[in-house]
Structure 1
Amino acid sequence: MNDKKGAEILTDQQFLEAIRTGNERTFELLFRQQYSPLCQYGFSFLKDWDDAEEVVQAMFLAFWEKRDSLVITTSLKSYLYRAVHNRCLNRIKHLSVQAEYQSYVQADGSDVYQSPVQELMASELDIQLQRAIERLPEQCRLIFMMSRFEELKYQEIADQLGLSIKTVENQIGKALRILRTELADYLPLLLLLGIHVYD
């Protein structure tokens, strides 16, 4: 049995234990298996292949450097996707709400003047929305971002993460309930900007 085949039949725990001990061949196998799909995932956020590759490479570098202290409570695949998701989110932080607002202004067909108060509200909403999303449970946050910001269908999310559609539906529902509570004071503005926190 060759090394590649042997590594492929390891459980996540065995896989991680091999990497934690500095097994470079196991790490290389993980890299080769996951690099391309993770880049595709990053590209779906960033819309730039070079940026996506940079994010994925940086994630794998950090993964290797911190291998001794890794704490993974989900599947290894979910962990990697979440790590890439978080790095992509950091790149586009504070831009999502601004983009939604600009789309609203353009759709309105008029050159709307933004008063200092309006700008402050948009900025504050951006901050509160990002904070609320970041406070969601890990799997819940990942699934919500894939659904709302990547616009993936539930079946596509389920396929990528190896979950059932029912689990995806439940996690989306959970995320929406939490966000409605967290952002109760901002719901009118969220609706104005087309950011939906209702099913």
Structure 2
Amino acid sequence: MKPEGLTSLASTIEALRAGDVTAFEHLYQVFEPRLYAFALHLVRQREDAEEVVQEVFLKVWERRHQLDPEQNFDGYLFSIAKNLVYNKARSKATEFAFTQYIMVNGKHAGCFTEEAVAYKDLSKLLDDTCAALPPVRRQVFIMSRVEGKSNREIAQQLNTTSSNIENHLYKALKVIRKIFTRYEAL
């Protein structure tokens, strides 16, 4: 620009600082085409570029009292535009990452809930099946599978042979497997 153009720009910025809407409109008409082209180059979508330009000029209006007529106004506008574009990109990336996180962890949370319900159902089924076993067989099963005792320990405690304990366990497990196989078929 010519020196008189600089003076004209400086006087326009001074008028803007004073709240002159005509000065603001003049700056918009002068700088909007180049700012739009710059924003379009960065965002690659017409609507997004228009939005960036609008936000830049909104910030200029909001900060009009802080403008320095001696500073590079072009540089100021393009810096605002660049920062807006980068902030929007960062926000979109964060939003996308959060959405992905929710999708992945939401599925796991759903699976955990389903697994907890299935575990509760199976646990009740096992309790009901054990309750239906003959008393000695039920006691042998609980001592073996719940309390973790060996067949020899159970035999000593119940004053019987290890083979008798193995027989009770075999029959108890056979009934339980049969019930659980029917449950899985449902």
Instruction: Note whether the superposition's TM-score is higher than 0.5.
Output: no
Q: TM-score range by the shorter chain?
A: 0.3 to 0.5
Structure-2-length-normalised TM-score: 0.43
Give the number of the structure whose alpha-carbon radius of gyration is greater. 2
Structure-1-length-normalised TM-score: 0.40
Q: Which has the higher helix share?
A: 2
